[in-house]
Amino acid sequence: MGKMNRQLAILNLTGALLPELKEYFISRNILVVDPLINSGTADWTHIITKDIHDFNLINDTYDLTQKDRHIISLSQVSDLQNFTINNGNIILDDIWFKGNLGSFIMDKYFQGYGGITLGDNYPSFQEMGSFNVTNPFNTGEYLDRMVQKAFESGIEALTLKTYFDHLVMYVAGLKKKEKAGLPFEITYGVYEDVFALQMHFFSQRLEILDVTTGLSSIITKKADEYFLNVAVQSADFFDFSYMPEVNKVIITGLWTKDERIKFENRGLMFTALEAGRIFHKYENEGASSSLVSDNEIPDFTDKLSFSQKDELIATSTVLKGSSVQEESSAVVKGSADEAITSTVVAGSETEKETLTKVSSAEEVETEDEVRIIKGEMGLDELVNVVKSKFEEEKSVIRVSGNKLDIEKVAYRIAASVDESTKESNLKVRSLGNKIPDLIKTGLFDFAKNLNKSVDDLGDSDIDQFQIQKLPEIIRQGILKKEEKSAARENNPQDSTRIIEAKLLNATQENDKLKSQLRNLAAEVRILKESRAKVAEIQMKATKAAVEVVAQKSDDPDDELRKQFQQKINDQKLLNEMELKKLGGLLERESKLIAEVKAEEMKTRKLHIENIQKETFYSQEIEKSQRQLKAKDLMLIKTKESFTKLVEKKENEISELRQKTDQLSRTLATAPSQTQTKTIKDLEKQNANLFKQLDVYKIKLSSLASKMQTTKDDDNKDDARKLQMINNQLKNQLDMAKKESEKWQSKASQDHGQILAMKQEKVRLEQVIKKLNIESSKESSAPQQPTVNDQELKRLQAHNQILENQLKENSTKVMALESKLQEALKLQRTGQPTGDDGSKVKVTQLENSVKKLTQDIVESKGLLAEAKKETNKLRQEKTALQNMVDKLKKDAVKAKAAMPKKPNGKAA
Amino acid sequence: MKPQKQMITKLPVKDLAKKIICDGHLFLISGERKFYLMKPGVLVDPDFVKKHAPNNSTFDFECVVNQELKDKFTNHFRELRYLQFEKDLRLKCSDIVHDFYLHYSVPEHFLSFALACHEAFCGISLDDQLRMHETDMHLFRKALYSSAFAIIAGMTNDFFHYLMLKDFYNLTFALDIGLCESNYSYYVSEACNAENRNPGSGRRYLLKEKASDFELALFLKHPEKSYQYIKERSILAFPELAEVTLYQHELTDGSGFPRGVIKGQISSWEAVVIFSDSLVEILSEYTFEYEVISYLTNFENQKLKDLPVNRVYKKLCHAFSHFQAMKETGS
């Protein structure tokens, strides 16, 4: 954060500060700037506000984001998101300064010290326990133990539990986004009547947006949007610190038993800590392992009813006076601008450590800044204007990723010195080549304003130029560049629109401020009236007193008094009547005295009250006047800035107009060669474009006509399409027919073959019969062969089987034929008519074609099987034939062997 | 106090091949002479096994590991792995630390516990372990013992989750894996020990000894190399924990290495790893092996001056003193 490198100065927008706070600032050498005196000139680092809720306005007015200034609010903030986005860091009610924690928190904030353990962050706290969360959904036992400790310490443990649950879920959400790492380490402890709970975890890429998005006050379905807000609202003080050096986030919640700190006084702090800045060592911390503290957790449910009782007690208790215990408070010595700041914790027995040294590294220029200083590179080349994430209007000037310290760089550029020399008193020494034109012209203008030439400028003048003018010149230069580039992107009309919008906004804001002013004026009027009324009452009271005195002067008792006085003077004795009268007089007198005394007391009281009221009213009036003045100032500033902006824009517009006028004039008077060329080019381009236009027109007309024709012929087209499909289907059918014919012819061939085979079979049977007859004849002979009979029988059986198979095949062929006929029938019936129902027919045809193709496939399969069978049968046939041949031969042999009959014939 | 010598047995080469880490002294007795072959706590070299396997050689072996104790811890870790609720996890860890305290207050070799831890938690590949072993046998032994200490330190510091403990183990084991290169030398190991004893002195030692530029570079860059190794192998269940390897030698005043950035404010889990790493030196005689508890309770090191490391150490000692009190009262 680099807080220590700058002199701490605070712009006070709250009016009168609390005496404790005032004292605190004085003791820490922190300069408090009054906005009515020197807000413009002083380089303040923080701004204190109270009862302000629109932080955008504050940011716009005082350039908080751009100048790295931070807001401290001394009252509750309605929109935490808005507060944090606008560099809001700390919310701490005045009431905190009545105790000893307020100054400690402020010290912690301003000095940025702290560490990742409770002892480092809040050194006075005594650690009561610690645990690590490795599974965010498994924290029950730890939480119970912690709540037990909180109950023992007398802290409202329900809020603690709510806080812890929501915080753990928020961090678990960050873990889901890979912005937080496990484990989450938790420590809790107490210090007097304050209970603290601290969590730290590793977080590498945490952005402010991750924090602000969790601070929404609206409860929606997306729980991670309000988890952090609930946690913040559940703690009396919430401290969110980030340590960029070690990528760790430390979140601390504090709960106090102090009756003065209520819901509306709770505090909040966002800080970036510097690593290694531990200022305290707490010896006892972290000494106990929870491994060994495994005692049972007692039941504290009865405590829940106590909390209600406590509330009742709280309402009846009288506020105690603040008793600041100096012994236990942390006192931070030394001013912020000192190079080494030491922090001493008074009252603690631990060793006192010297704090870190402020590194001088941050004062050294970056490489790019050195290049700018040396004149090697122009500002335009290296400077980037970075737009704000949240509001487009805001921008920061950056060089090599870092914020450009314009004052420092400007000073060195003007001096045109080498970075390595590091001179302390640098001045503009020359107007050589290295110094940018921007600075040169600035210097010339400056000299002109002083009615001097550049050479006559004295040291004091140059100092003044460098300190006051130069940063502004460079800033203006950069902004001009940015505006120019923006203007290039947007046309002038847009820019005027933007200006108009800005003006509208400004007028709206102006109206708002005016209404606020009116309200304040009304308040002042009311206050004045009340004052007048008080004065009137006082007047009346004095008059009444005078009247009472006047009435009393006519009292009969006076005569009695005079009489008695006379008698006392004459030294006469009093009779009984007179004594009675005297007694009555005395009684009346004593009553009167008592009444007078009472009246006196009343008047005194009235007087005191009056004085109190007067002082209160005067304070209030003063406050409101200050606020009024501050708001006036803001108004004036905004007005000024807007008028400047408008002027600038007007100037630009007029410049642009002039330029266009000039150009038009030059065009009108004498066109140069280049202009004629460009005109010719433009004419050519124009002609080309016209041609293109014609072409497109023709295209358009043709497209239109096409559209017309397509509209007319829509139905015809459909019919044509259907016809086409029909034709295609017809062709397919023809093909199918041909295929079926082919198969038919094949089937007939096969049938012929089967018939031939049948005939052959019959022939063979006849042959066998003949042979049988012959063999029967032979059986009469003594040497009859039985083997042949057996073989024949077998052949017959085989023949029977073959016949059966043939029958089956023929039936299959028949079935195929019938199927083919069916298909042909379907072909004949499926003729398209081209009517309205053609579509249905087409689908029918398609289906029939499908069927046909399926049938064809089936018939092909069957045919293949039939072929196989025929082949088998052929083989069988040849085998049978062979057998028959063999039998024939045997028979011939047998015949030859038989004895011849007398008629000479063989048996 | 070293216990009496264990029984010397004959160990066939096929039984040796079954071991990853040697759990005893391996030697050959030839006549009156003894040839020492392997130390306890070193990797069993596969080449050595290959060489002797064809001959069916047998070696003389003196085991130092209590197998029963090792099995007991192995069972403990197995049970821890499947526990879910924090209370159960805490009680289991309490049992483990209690058993550790009871057994290691008597002379019991620490290797039994280290081997059980290695079996249960080690996620580093055998090749990388071999690489480490080949670079320096002591470097491997140091990693084996210090990572076992990380388990006890983690448990006594309230880290009970199995995966978290596993990450502690592997982080401690691989903390010096960046040193495993050809430029590793005696000087580098000594510089590591010097750095461990007195943070910031390692570089000075190397310059004093006129170490080569390569040695210096190896020493100064090893945290980054170890970090790269862990990131590439993705051996961690919680990858963000790998950060600790980067700044194991960074100091709060910015005088550390490799980047010289200010890295104070370490969390307790980081302190567990750093503390465990500083418990064992690379070239020491490992006196703690039989006297672990007294070694831990009397441990002194410059690193203990670092507050978070000191807290980790205190918690460890607190747990031990509690168990000691329990032992004395008999409760």
Which single residue is written with the structure tokens 């010297």? Answer: A354
How do A395-399 and A237-243 pair as beta strands? unpaired
Evaluate if residue A375 carries a pLDDT over 60: no
User: What's the mean per-residue pLDDT of chain A?
Assistant: 70
Query: CA separation (Å) from A668 to A221, A654, A663, A674, B249?
Result: 68, 20, 8, 14, 78
The answer to which of A369-373, A755-759, A883-887 has the lowest mean pLDDT is A369-373
Burial B298-320 (b: 16+ CB within 10 A, else e): eeebebbebbbbbbbbbbbbbbb
Mean predicted confidence (pLDDT) in B79-100: 91
The answer to which of A313-317, A865-869, B8-12 has the lowest mean pLDDT is A313-317
Instruction: Say how far apart CA B139 and CA A310 lie, in whole Å.
Output: 63
Which CATH architecture is the domain A3-360 placed in?
A: 2-Layer Sandwich (3.30)
Per-residue pLDDT of A142-167, as tens digits, reads: 888 888 888 888 887 788 888 888 88
- Please tell me which residue of chain A has the smallest CA distance to B251: A276
Cross-chain Cβ contact B240/A182 below 8 Å:
yes
Nearest CB to B164 within list A134, A202, A291: A134
Q: Which pLDDT belongs to residue A257?
A: 78
Cross-chain Cβ contact A291/B156 below 8 Å:
yes
Confidence label for A318 from pLDDT (cuts 50, 70 and 90): very low
A183–chain B Cβ distance below 8 A for any pair: yes
Element (H, E) at A627: helix A576-669
Instruction: Say how far apart CA B272 and CA B62 lie, in whole Å.
Output: 34
A396–chain B Cβ distance below 8 A for any pair: no
The answer to which of A821-835, A873-887, B26-40 has the lowest mean pLDDT is A821-835
Reported for B25-31, long-range contacts at CB under 8 A and 24+ positions apart, including other chains, are B25/B61, B25/B62, B25/B64, B26/B59, B26/B60, B26/B61, B27/B59, B27/B60, B27/B61, B27/B62, B28/B59, B28/B60, B29/B60
Mean predicted confidence (pLDDT) in A300-313: 41
Q: How close does chain B come to A338, measured CA to CA in Å? A: 19
Confidence label for A833 from pLDDT (cuts 50, 70 and 90): very low
A141–chain B Cβ distance below 8 A for any pair: yes
* Nearest alpha carbon to residue A10 among A25, A634, A24: A25
Cis peptide before A183, with omega less than 30 degrees from 0? yes
Cite the residue boundaries of each domain of chain B with CATH code 1.10.3210. Answer: 67-329
Evaluate if residue A522 carries a pLDDT over 60: yes
Q: B325 versus A62: which is more confidently predicted?
A: B325
Give, as one character, the DSSP assignment of residue A72. Answer: E
* Nearest alpha carbon to residue B244 among A181, A121, A112, A832: A181
Is A530 within 8 Å of A659 (Cβ atoms)?
A: no
Nearest CB to A276 within list B85, B265, B322: B265
Which residues of B are less than 8 Å from A176 in CB distance? none
| Widest Cα–Cα separation across chain A | 227
Instruction: Say how far apart CA B125 and CA B137 lie, in whole Å.
Output: 17
Evaluate if residue A607 carries a pLDDT over 80: yes
Q: How close does chain A come to B97, measured CA to CA in Å? A: 9
Pick A716-897's CATH classification: 1.20.140, 3.20.20, 1.20.1050, 1.10.1060: 1.20.140
Q: B139 versus A243: which is more confidently predicted?
A: B139
A181–chain B Cβ distance below 8 A for any pair: yes
Is B170 within 8 Å of B149 (Cβ atoms)?
A: no
Mean predicted confidence (pLDDT) in A249-277: 71
Is A538 within 8 Å of A530 (Cβ atoms)?
A: no
Q: How close does chain A come to B13, measured CA to CA in Å? A: 44
Backbone φ, ψ for residue A255 (5° rounding)? -130, 135
Which residues of A are less than 8 Å from B243 in CB distance? 202, 247
Q: A863 versus A489: which is more confidently predicted?
A: A863
Evaluate if residue A379 carries a pLDDT over 70: no
A334–chain B Cβ distance below 8 A for any pair: no
B307–chain A Cβ distance below 8 A for any pair: yes
Left (φ > 0), alpha (ψ -120 to 50) or beta: where does B31 sit? left
Instruction: Say how far apart CA A619 and CA A731 lie, in whole Å.
Output: 108
Evaluate if residue A377 carries a pLDDT over 80: no
Q: Which of residues 59-88 of B touch A (CB under 8 A)?
A: 84-87
Which residues of A are less than 8 Å from B308 in CB distance? 117
% of chain B at pLDDT higher than 90:
37
Which residues of B are less than 8 Å from A138 in CB distance? 84-86
How do A46-49 and A70-73 pair as beta strands? parallel
Backbone φ, ψ for residue A297 (5° rounding)? -85, 120
Q: Which pLDDT belongs to residue A831?
A: 46
Residue A895 has which token pair? 């015949």
Nearest CB to A285 within list B311, B312, B322: B311
B159–chain A Cβ distance below 8 A for any pair: yes
B253–chain A Cβ distance below 8 A for any pair: yes
Give me the total of CB pairs closer than 8 Å, taking one residue from chain A and one from chain B. 118
Q: Which pLDDT belongs to residue A358?
A: 32
Q: How close does chain B come to A131, measured CA to CA in Å? A: 6
% of chain B at pLDDT higher than 70:
97
Q: How close does chain A come to B199, measured CA to CA in Å? A: 16
Evaluate if residue B294 carries a pLDDT over 80: yes
What is the fold of B67-329? Hypothetical protein af1432 (1.10.3210)
Evaluate if residue B116 carries a pLDDT over 90: yes
Cross-chain Cβ contact B85/A138 below 8 Å:
yes
Evaluate if residue A390 carries a pLDDT over 50: no
Burial B38-62 (b: 16+ CB within 10 A, else e): bebbbbbbeeebeebeeeeebbbbe
Q: Which pLDDT belongs to residue B99?
A: 92
The per-residue DSSP string of A774-804 comes to HHHHHHTSTT--HHHHHHHHHHHHHHHHHHH
Q: In the sheet that A395-399 helps form, which strands lie side by side, from edge to edge?
A: A384-387, A395-399, A402-403
Instruction: Say how far apart CA A829 and CA A811 lie, in whole Å.
Output: 27
Q: Which of A241-250, A276-285, A295-304, B42-51 has the highest mean pLDDT?
A: B42-51
Q: How close does chain A come to B156, measured CA to CA in Å? A: 6
Cross-chain Cβ contact B311/A248 below 8 Å:
no
Write down the pTM of the prediction: 0.50
